[in-house]
Amino acid sequence: MDKKDHSSPLNFIQQIITADIEAGKNQGQIITRFPPEPNGFLHIGHAKSICINFGLANQYGGKTYLRFDDTNPSKESKEYTDSIIDSVKWLGFGWENRLRHASDYFDQLYEFAVQLIKRNKAYVCSLKPEEIKAQRGTLKEPGVNSPYRDRSVTENLELFEEMKLGKHENGAHVLRVKIDMASPNINMRDPVIYRILKVSHHRTGDKWGIYPLYDFTHCLSDAIEGITHSLCSLEFADHRPLYDWVLDNTDSPCHPQQIEFSRLALHYTVTSKRKLNELVDTGLVNGWDDPRMPTLMGMRRRGYTPSAIREFCDRIGVTKKENYIEMSALETCVREDLDQKSPRVMAVLQPLKVIIENFPDKDEEMDAPFHPYNDIFGSRKLPFTKELYIEQDDFMEDPPKKFFRLKPGGEVRLRYGYIIKCEAVIRDPQTGEIVTLKCSYDPETRSGTGTSIKKVKGTIHWVSASHAIDAEVRLYDRLFTVANPTGNKEGKDFKEFLNPESMKILKNCKLEKSLIEAKSEEPFQFERQGYFCVDRNDSKPDHLIFNRTVTLRDSWAKIEKANRQQKK
Ligand code: ATP
Ligand code: MG
């Protein structure tokens, strides 16, 4: 991966790291981690965190751990773990031998908990979960000390061991740290660090009947790995005092520094695994990797490239300010990247038959470059034939004034081909629908010969009817109809704002034959239509399916501009 351009101004985390290196902190080492919980697929928000953690380590010659925060076995699975591994690799990052699970540390974490008990800094509390909640107090009111707070060290040790051995039922006891029930920070009011949970774990099986909670697990896992900078999103800022307290009160091997940055939130989608899971579970989308989903696997299937996503994460920067990013910012990165990488091909998505009556019954080969400014892509020969398909939209029987495509008696250029003229419109006698256009061509107007003086204003794409291949094409649009589906004033459920037009399936598309060889993750520009790729799940050699990755232009720009103005 490229090293970052050092000439651009440093973001606030880079400033901290640079200062730490200069001060000789951590022997000048930089060790970060990306700690997903395997309870869903990664989304675009995680991409930001991945790019920050792996990106900083790359930039400063450091290391990054991929660590699964697998402390909640009832919601986690191997399927999720595998998809997360795939996503991080796909995004272009590696961790060598630094793949870890919080569950690797269950024995050590247990010992740290025992240490806190022995130091009289943790106790087994036998209140019911609702009672603990009720006694925690509020932002205005202090909490109430648990009646079990002064249990003896011996009794605590015995009970904690029994919890571990499975001698008590779920909810009967928890282990809490003893801090301060009157702390203005509610996270510091004797938080629970272990609970009984008789659930089998996807890695440790039935070995444990108790599981540590996030705030206890995370800081100690960081310390065990020797993380220097523990980078997380802003919602953890209020947990930082607890992070520090646990490390200060145990013999933790080191004391990483927690630094918070703002989460990525994107308009017209949701970035919360819980909400995405709801869409999957209710069948409103076709799985976590549905190309409309903001998951990395969904975006991959749709044809987004890892380099475009990395570029996007780079452009949005790293700050502490909460903000929404417009979807168009992501789409712009995708377009710019695909423009460089995609051969141009012709595909007719909603075909209308054209018969060129004065064209001979033979194929004429037309030269067509695959890319307008990059010769590396080479070119192919397109067969021009008597029967062709053009796009239904490119013909209008009764067009407005500035319509420069085909109309009765009008002329248009077929890209890389000839100028044709519409002579007659044939309709289905039953339905009245236009089924064929009878046209003529002007043999003097062959593209690229420069002999013709004839000029027409419009150029349209086409494919030869006898050579075209059939395909299904899926057009995607934004998943939601409003910019912020979760923050609406009416308090409606976010699912009510799903865009019913977010997927449109076209079954009878006609593509130029070179596309028969298209491989998954190979991008194409269908001229005048957008960027497309083969659907990696559903496409078969005898039933090709293409996904539209992104349109050529941003049709939402106007709407977003209006939204912005409304906000002002
Ligand atoms: P979600 O709410 O979607 O479940 P999470 O924060 O619970 O997200 P984790 O698997 O715990 O998901 O997250 C792993 C890491 O990714 C954390 O360090 C978290 O701060 C970071 N992260 C998650 N969502 C975002 C986001 N939208 N922007 C930036 N970082 C994020
Ligand atoms: Mg989480």
Residue 290, helix vs strand vs coil: coil
Q: What is the pLDDT of residues 182-202, one digit of tens each?
A: 999 999 999 999 999 999 999
**Which bound ligand lies closest to the C-alpha atom of 36?**
1
**Which bound ligand lies closest to the C-alpha atom of 234?**
1
> Residue 455 has which token pair?
């000029």
Q: 39 CA to middle of ligand 2, Å? A: 9
Residue 419, helix vs strand vs coil: strand
CA distances from 193 to 122, 174, 227, 540 (A): 9, 8, 21, 51
Other beta carbons within 10 angstroms of residue 27's beta carbon come to: 7
- For ligand 1, atom 29, name the residue with the nearest CA: 263
User: Largest alpha-carbon pair distance within the chain?
Assistant: 101
Predicted local distance difference test score (pLDDT) of residue 558 = 67
Other beta carbons within 10 angstroms of residue 50's beta carbon come to: 25
List residues near ligand 1 (CB under 6 A). 35-37, 45-46, 48-49, 232-233, 263-264, 271-274
Q: 291 CA to middle of ligand 2, Å? A: 24
> Residue 76 has which token pair?
């986690």
Question: Of all helices (H) and strands (E), which one includes residue 384?
Answer: strand 379-384
Q: 36 CA to middle of ligand 1, Å? A: 7
Per-residue pLDDT, averaged over 491-504, amounts to 95
Q: 48 CA to middle of ligand 1, Å? A: 9
Ligand 1 nearest atom to the CA of residue 36, by list position = 10
pLDDT at 488 over 80: no
Other beta carbons within 10 angstroms of residue 377's beta carbon come to: 15
Which amino acid makes up residue 375? D
For ligand 1, mutation pick of 49, 239, 243, 494 (most atoms within 8 Å of CB): 49
pLDDT at 568 over 80: no
Q: 93 CA to middle of ligand 1, Å? A: 17
Predicted local distance difference test score (pLDDT) of residue 334 = 98
Predicted local distance difference test score (pLDDT) of residue 3 = 45
Q: 59 CA to middle of ligand 1, Å? A: 22
Q: What is the pLDDT of residues 60-83, one digit of tens each?
A: 999 999 999 999 999 999 999 999
Residue 74, helix vs strand vs coil: coil
Predicted local distance difference test score (pLDDT) of residue 411 = 97
Q: Where are the alpha helices (DSSP H) in 65-151?
A: 78-90, 106-118, 129-134
pLDDT at 333 over 80: yes
Q: Where are the alpha helices (DSSP H) in 34-167?
A: 44-59, 78-90, 106-118, 129-134, 153-164
Ligand 1 nearest atom to the CA of residue 49, by list position = 30
Ligand 1 nearest atom to the CA of residue 48, by list position = 29
Q: How many CA atoms lie within 13 A of 536 on its CB side?
A: 16
> Residue 235 has which token pair?
């919602």
Q: 345 CA to middle of ligand 1, Å? A: 39
Ligand 1 nearest atom to the CA of residue 236, by list position = 20
From the list 169, 217, 168, the residue with the least C-alpha distance to 192 is 217
Per-residue pLDDT, averaged over 514-526, amounts to 95
**Inter-helix orientation angle 153-164/106-118, to 10°:** 160
Q: 66 CA to middle of ligand 2, Å? A: 15
Predicted local distance difference test score (pLDDT) of residue 2 = 45
Average pLDDT, the chain: 95
Q: Token match 């973001």: residue?
A: 11
Where does residue 208 rank: exposed (0-12), middle (13-18), buried (19+ CB within 10 A)? buried
Per-residue pLDDT, averaged over 330-342, amounts to 97
**Inter-helix orientation angle 306-316/44-59, to 10°:** 80
pLDDT at 109 over 70: yes
Per-residue pLDDT, averaged over 434-438, amounts to 97
**Which bound ligand lies closest to the C-alpha atom of 50?**
1
- For ligand 1, atom 9, name the residue with the nearest CA: 36
**Residue 180: which residues within 8 A CB-CB, separation 6 or more?**
188, 189, 190
**Residue 445: which residues within 8 A CB-CB, separation 6 or more?**
413, 418, 419, 452, 454
pLDDT at 181 over 50: yes
CA distance 394 to 386: 18
Q: Token match 């039935």: residue?
A: 206
pLDDT at 165 over 70: yes
pLDDT at 170 over 80: yes
**Which bound ligand lies closest to the C-alpha atom of 43?**
1
For ligand 1, mutation pick of 42, 46, 267 (most atoms within 8 Å of CB): 46
- For ligand 1, atom 14, name the residue with the nearest CA: 36
Other beta carbons within 10 angstroms of residue 117's beta carbon come to: 23
Other beta carbons within 10 angstroms of residue 16's beta carbon come to: 16
How many helices and strands in the chain, by DSSP H and E?
13, 27
CA 524 to chain centre: 21
Predicted local distance difference test score (pLDDT) of residue 560 = 65
Cβ pair 225, 33 in contact under 8 A: yes
For ligand 1, mutation pick of 50, 64, 233, 321 (most atoms within 8 Å of CB): 233
Q: Is the dihedral of CA 264, 269, 273, 274 positive or negative?
A: positive
Ligand 1 nearest atom to the CA of residue 275, by list position = 3
Q: What is the pLDDT of residues 347-395, one digit of tens each?
A: 999 999 999 999 999 999 999 999 998 999 999 999 999 999 999 999 9
Predicted local distance difference test score (pLDDT) of residue 554 = 78
What positions carry a catalytic annotation?
Answer: 37, 263, 273
- For ligand 1, atom 16, name the residue with the nearest CA: 46
From the list 187, 191, 186, the residue with the least C-alpha distance to 141 is 186
- For ligand 1, atom 4, name the residue with the nearest CA: 273
Domains defined for the chain, CATH in brackets: 12-261 (3.40.50.620), 273-343+471-567 (2.40.240.10), 347-461 (2.40.240.10)
Predicted local distance difference test score (pLDDT) of residue 34 = 98
Where does residue 91 rank: exposed (0-12), middle (13-18), buried (19+ CB within 10 A)? buried
Predicted local distance difference test score (pLDDT) of residue 1 = 40
**Inter-helix orientation angle 78-90/44-59, to 10°:** 60
Ligand 1 nearest atom to the CA of residue 274, by list position = 4
Please report, in angstroms and rounded to a whole number, the separation of the first and last CA atoms in the chain. 40
**Which bound ligand lies closest to the C-alpha atom of 46?**
1
Q: How many CA atoms lie within 13 A of 425 on its CB side?
A: 14
Predicted local distance difference test score (pLDDT) of residue 8 = 79
Instruction: Please indicate whether residue 221 or residue 555 has the higher confidence score (pLDDT).
Output: 221
Nearest 5°: the CA angle 433, 436, 437 is: 120
Predicted local distance difference test score (pLDDT) of residue 192 = 98
Per-residue pLDDT, averaged over 277-282, amounts to 97
Q: What is the pLDDT of residues 3-34, one digit of tens each?
A: 445 567 999 999 999 999 999 999 999 999 99
